[in-house]
């Protein structure tokens, strides 16, 4: 059996998929299998006899990226799972770096991998990513395991409930850890963010800060379009409310209950602010009320004043 299974979901991107596979074939670590999950591409994906380590699975109807990842996970034979989007690339040392960390630190279950952005809007993406990572790492209060590797305690959960920078959406994970982290949720638009929060809650995690995952930024993403802002806000609310509901059901300690309640309240406030900016006052009031039900806050009162006072 291969040591690591690389799961590659794809849909109607044959040329980009070829680039992704080329980056995998160029890895310095060779004990891998690739599980390509073709999410009903037209025409269907075929790699011929390119490499015996590459396997293709097909969905008869498109089910989305999360379901495709789950199909790959269920078929994977490696003890370690890695993921590569069909429009992205691995640096040559990607797998060697991740496997080395997991071997040197057996208690680490998930290694999140640092990102380097490339493409037409790559510089913009890199700037935003660097700023987001600086804030998240300051909040996560990790400690250095070795040069370029950071491990985390409970503070990572608090940080990711506020923001999930791209590095934390790029995991290399021990397959057995999925028993307590879980699979990806197909009904969730921001499934990578949702999974990262679950990993921070349920697994021992580390970060390799090197930017060895190469993230393409050329406007090709399916879920990152600017006209989907409202969908992203709704998905963020669904994620935070789900974790809050589970925390109540499982009777989490009070400090964790506070984390999830604060995160849910903030997600609803973000929606209220967006609706206010779009001059949808009734919808903004409804979202603000939901935020207030979860936690009283001064920003809620300030926004309420703006909504109720004429001319604001």
User: What is residue 75's predicted lDDT score, i.e. its pLDDT?
Assistant: 97
- Burial class of residue 186 (count of CB atoms within 10 Å of its CB; 0-12, 13-18, 19+): middle
Beta bridge partners of 57: 37
**66, 167, 206, 280, 288 from 114: Cα distances, Å:** 21, 5, 11, 39, 35
User: What is residue 90's predicted lDDT score, i.e. its pLDDT?
Assistant: 98
- Please tell me the distance from the alpha carbon of residue 205 to that of residue 199, in angstroms, as a whole number: 7
Closest CA to 154 of 203, 114, 208, 207: 203
User: What is residue 288's predicted lDDT score, i.e. its pLDDT?
Assistant: 96
pLDDT < 70 regions, the chain: 222-227, 310-312
- Please tell me the distance from the alpha carbon of residue 244 to that of residue 97, in angstroms, as a whole number: 35
Closest CA to 238 of 209, 208, 268: 268
CATH code, 4-216: 3.90.550.10
- Please tell me the distance from the alpha carbon of residue 173 to that of residue 158, in angstroms, as a whole number: 21
Judge whether 167 and 114 are in contact, CB under 8 Å: yes
Q: How many CB atoms lie within 10 A of CB 145?
A: 16
| Percent helix, percent strand, percent coil in the chain, to nearest 5 | 50, 20, 30
SS3 of residue 134 by DSSP: helix
- The packing angle between helices 281-294 and 254-277, to 10°, is 170
Judge whether 196 and 134 are in contact, CB under 8 Å: no
Give the single-character DSSP code of 248: H
Give the single-character DSSP code of 217: -
H or E element, residue 104: helix 94-104
User: What is residue 18's predicted lDDT score, i.e. its pLDDT?
Assistant: 96
Phi, psi for residue 113 in degrees, rounded to 5: -110, 130
Q: What digits encode the pLDDT tens for the residues 113-133? A: 999 999 999 999 999 999 999
Q: What percent of the chain has pLDDT over 70?
A: 97
Q: Domain ranges in the chain? A: 4-216, 226-308
Global pTM reads: 0.95
- Please tell me the distance from the alpha carbon of residue 224 to that of residue 56, in angstroms, as a whole number: 26
């Amino acid at each position: 059996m291969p040591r690591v299974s690389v799961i590659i979901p794809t849909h109607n991107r044959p040329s980009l998929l070829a680039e992704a596979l080329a980056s995998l074939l160029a890895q310095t670590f060779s004990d891998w299998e690739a599980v390509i999950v073709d999410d009903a591409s037209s025409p269907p994906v075929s790699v011929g006899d390119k490499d015996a380590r590459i396997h293709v699975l097909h969905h008869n109807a498109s089910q989305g990226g999360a379901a495709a990842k789950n199909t790959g996970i269920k078929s994977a034979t490696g003890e370690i799972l890695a993921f590569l989007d069909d429009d992205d690339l691995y640096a040559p040392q990607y797998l060697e770096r991740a496997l080395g960390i997991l071997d040197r630190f057996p208690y680490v279950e998930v290694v999140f991998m640092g990102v380097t952005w490339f493409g037409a809007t790559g510089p913009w993406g890199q700037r935003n990513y660097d700023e987001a990572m600086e804030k998240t790492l300051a909040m996560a209060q990790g400690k250095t395991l070795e040069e370029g590797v950071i491990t985390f305690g409970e503070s990572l959960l608090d940080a990711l409930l506020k923001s999930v920078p791209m590095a934390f959406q790029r995991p290399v994970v021990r397959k057995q850890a999925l028993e307590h982290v879980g699979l990806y949720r197909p009904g969730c638009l921001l499934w990578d963010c949702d999974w990262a929060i679950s990993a921070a809650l349920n697994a021992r995690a580390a970060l390799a800060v090197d930017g060895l995952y190469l993230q393409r930024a050329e406007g090709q993403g399916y879920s990152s379009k600017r006209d989907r802002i409202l969908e992203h806000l709704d998905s963020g609310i669904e994620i935070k409310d789900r974790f809050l509901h589970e925390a109540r059901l499982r009777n989490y300690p009070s400090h964790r209950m506070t984390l999830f309640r604060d995160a849910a309240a903030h997600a609803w406030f973000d929606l209220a602010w967006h609706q206010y900016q779009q001059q949808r006052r009734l919808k903004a009031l409804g979202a603000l009320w939901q935020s207030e039900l979860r936690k009283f806050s001064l920003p809620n009162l300030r926004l309420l004043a703006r909504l109720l006072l004429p001319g604001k």
